[in-house]
Structures are given as C-alpha cells and as structure tokens.
Amino acid sequence: MIANADAIMPITHRPQTVFVSGEGSYLIDQDGERYLDFIQGWAVNTLGHCNKQLVAAIRQQAGQLIHAGPGFYNQPMLDLAALLSANSLFDHVFFANSGAEANEGAIKLARKWGQLHKDGAHKIITFVDGFHGRTLATMSASGKTGWNGLFEPKTPGFVKVPYNDLSATMDAIDSDTVAIMLELIQGEAGVIPATEQFLQNLQSLKQRHNLLLIVDEVQTGIARTGKLFCYQHYDIEPDIMTLGKGLGGGMPISALLAKQAASCFASGEQGGTFNGNPLATAAGQAVLSAVLAPGFIHEINRLSQILTTELTRLADKHQLGEVRGKGLLLALNTGSYHADAVVEEAMRNRLLLNAPRPHTLRFMPALNIKADEIQQMLTVLDQIFTHLRD
Ligand SMILES: *Cc1c(COP(=O)(O)O)cnc(C)c1O
C-alpha cells in the first residue's frame, strides 16, 4: 500500500508506485526504477521531463515574479501572446489554466458572438466521441458515451452528430446554430482523424451559414502532429482555437485564441485569478521558443515516420490492426489483444503506454525523443506481443 494514498480522493486507478523525478524520456520511481515514458503527462511534456531550457526559464521567472494578478500586464504574458499570434492566424489570446477552462471560454465567446451578430443564435454542434474537458459545460459538449446520464442535467445548447458525417452535420444546422466545435484528431477517442474532405466541407458550411469554426487543439497543438498547429495541415480557417496540454511543457497553462472578428468579450466578461500568470507564461514561452527553433518540427516528422513504419511492421508481424494519427500523436489498433493487458505488461517492463480504448494503444512521447528510445520501446512492445500470444 502507498503511504497516505487513502487521503487522495479515489477518482482513478493508479499503479502502486510513486514517481519522484524525471529526465527526458524517463520517469523515475521511489525505488530508482526508470520507466521509458510514452505518455509524458498525457501529451503534456513537449520537451520531455525537466528539460534544461524549460527548468531554467521557470527558475529564472520564479525568482523574479510569480504572480501579479489578472488585472495587470506582465512581460511573459505579453511575449507569449505575441508569439502565438505571430505564428497562427489568430489576433487575440486569453490565457487560462486547463484545456477545459479554455474550451469554456470558447463556448462563452461563441455565445456572445451569436448574441451580437446572429440574433441570439447559441447552439454549438459537437461530435460523438469528442472530448472537450470535465467541467459541466465541456462535459456537455463532449460526446463520450460513458458520460450519458452523468451529473444531470447537462448544460443545454450542444447538438451532437457523428464525426466525419457531413449530412448529419448539415441536418443539425438551424437558425439557432452559432458554431461547430471539434478536435481535428479525436485524441481521447483513440486518435481518430477528421478526414480532409470533411474539414473542407465544414469550412464551406461555416461560410454559407455564417458560423464560427472552433478547433479544440488542446491535444493536437504545439507541434504534436508535426505542424505547429494541426489546422495548418488543412486548407481551413478556424475562427477560434484552444490550446492546453503541450503549451506549458508540464506547467498548467492553456489558451483561448480568436480572430479579431470573433474576439467580442466586453470588459469584465471573461477572467480568472491565475490567468496569464508570469510563471506559467514564461514556461510557455520557453516551450514555444524551443519548438520554433530551426529543425525542431522537421525532426518530429522524421521521428514520426520511423515510429509509423516500425509500428506498421509490428502490426504485420503480430497480426494487429491499423496505425493512425499524425506526428507524434499515433495509435495502434491491437487487434484481438486487450490494450489494457499490453499496458500492464509494459509497466512491468518499465515502459509507460496509454490505452484510450479497449483495443487501442496511444503513443505521445516527448517531441524531442531520440530515435534509439523509439527503438527501445518497439523492442519491448514486440516482446510483449510475443509473450501475450504464447
Ligand atoms: C485533454 C483535453 C481537454 C481537457 O483539458 P484539461 O486540461 O484536462 O481540462 C480538452 N480537449 C482535448 C482535445 C483534450 O485532449
């Protein structure tokens, strides 16, 4: 039994170990065991554990200014907002603390825009199996099947349609519809990409019906998919984007970004005590600078190709299913093998993997993982499938 574990609210099953430190692609527990980490805090540790540049930026900022309050400018907040805006098609940035909070902001912004510009239209079309967070409104926007009937009543105003289904989306649009909100790759659903055609059609629908397009890039943003933002893979022009997970490289920070025309909060309508605090924004600045350094994103795509090719080879060898995803957000269908059994066996072999679905493994390593660490993971995974088969 882990000491003091009974003081923790039991909201999930956790392995019987305590992690005490981290180093690049490795997480180290209280017994000094080193685990090769392909979860990285849930696609959060963009630069791996305790990256030197990131740690230096946090240390420096902690000694200078940790928090001044949301009613004042601070330098890292200004600089990170400018950097995000300069590298995207969005004009304004609002910082928050979690993906769910950024998405709440996106929902509020869309409703405000509907009040100002679309006769009070407020309904937002979202997608089956989509995931937008765990607050009441973002749970209501999400399409996780297990959540039906949970914490009722849900927040009204969300119409859910099947992902990649154009005619269902068209049928769902009426005069009360203000926005379409989606993940470009459904992460928690098991790394399910939107098709290029579907996104193209959403872009046309948005123009025809005067709707806002909201992309939830909490998981796909900050180069996770091999471009700085996932929307840049497609010929689409979202009005609103949310970021979270990888933005702070492990520090809790998220962001709501909007084009000028959609950025319609009046003074006092949006805020939050910790939002834009210099410690978190300095971390975001360090992460973004590293990701924007020449060659960094190119290397993500090279590593992605290696991982994709080798996973496909493994799938052929062990008669597994498809490999899907982009960049370093990849999934492997485990075929007849239970993904949870693979995850447990991997943990015993000091490898941390994630199974978002009963037959899906998800790979979300540090974006600066080394090629030999990928090979190491593949060797262990190969052994696990051989062992599970026998
Ligand atoms: C993780 C995630 C969220 C929620 O972020 P939190 O920081 O856990 O609130 C929202 N949307 C997507 C796509 C996510 O992957």
Which residue's CA is the closest to the ligand 1 atom numbered 15? 219
- Cβ neighbours of residue 10 closer than 8 Å, sequence gap 6 or more: none
Task: Indicate if 144 belongs to the active site.
Answer: no
Tokens of 29: 């527990």
Ligand 1 centroid to Cα of residue 348, in Å, is: 28
Could you identify the atom of ligand 1 that is nearest to the CA of residue 133? 4
The one catalytic residue among 90, 94, 131, 229 = 131
Centre of ligand 1 to C-alpha 218, Å, is: 6
Catalytic residue among 160, 206, 245, 326: 245
Q: Which two tokens stand for residue 172?
A: 């769902």
Q: How would you classify the pairing of strands 177-182 and 123-127?
A: parallel
CA 133 to ligand 1 centroid distance, Å: 5
Return the ligand 1 atom nearest residue 103 CA.
Answer: 10
Residue nearest to atom 5 of ligand 1 (CA): 99
The residue from 129, 216, 227, 363 that is catalytic is 216
Question: Which residues' Cβ are closer than 6 Å to ligand 1?
Answer: 98-100, 103, 131-133, 183, 187-188, 216, 218-219, 244-245
CA of 312 to the centre of ligand 1 (A): 28
Q: Which pTM does this prediction carry? A: 0.98
187 C-alpha vs ligand 1 centroid, how far in Å? 9
CA of 63 to the centre of ligand 1 (A): 30
In this structure, are residues 72 and 279 in contact, taking their beta carbons and an 8 Å threshold?
Answer: no
pLDDT for the residue 1? 83
Residue whose CB lies within 8 A of the most ligand 1 atoms, among 126, 217, 218, for a mutation test:
218
Q: How far apart are CA 355 and CA 362, in angstroms?
A: 6
For residues 151 and 95, what is the distance between their CA atoms, to the nearest angstrom?
A: 28
Closest ligand 1 atom number to CA of residue 187? 15
Q: Report the C-alpha gap between 207 and 203 in whole angstroms.
A: 6
Q: Per residue of the chain (390 residues), what is the pLDDT tens digit?
A: 899 999 999 999 999 999 999 999 999 999 999 999 999 999 999 999 999 999 999 999 999 999 999 999 999 999 999 999 999 999 999 999 999 999 999 999 999 999 999 999 999 999 999 999 999 999 999 999 889 899 999 999 999 999 999 999 999 999 999 999 999 999 999 999 999 999 999 999 999 999 999 999 999 999 999 999 999 999 999 999 999 999 999 999 999 999 999 999 999 999 999 999 999 999 999 999 999 999 999 999 999 999 999 999 999 999 999 999 999 999 999 999 999 999 999 999 999 999 999 999 999 999 999 999 999 999 999 999 999 998
Q: Which of 144, 245, 254 to mutate to test the pocket of ligand 1 (most atoms within 8 A of CB)?
A: 245
Q: Are 104 and 135 in contact (CB under 8 A)?
A: yes
Instruction: For strands 351-352 and 34-37, give the pairing.
Output: parallel
Q: Is 216 a catalytic residue?
A: yes
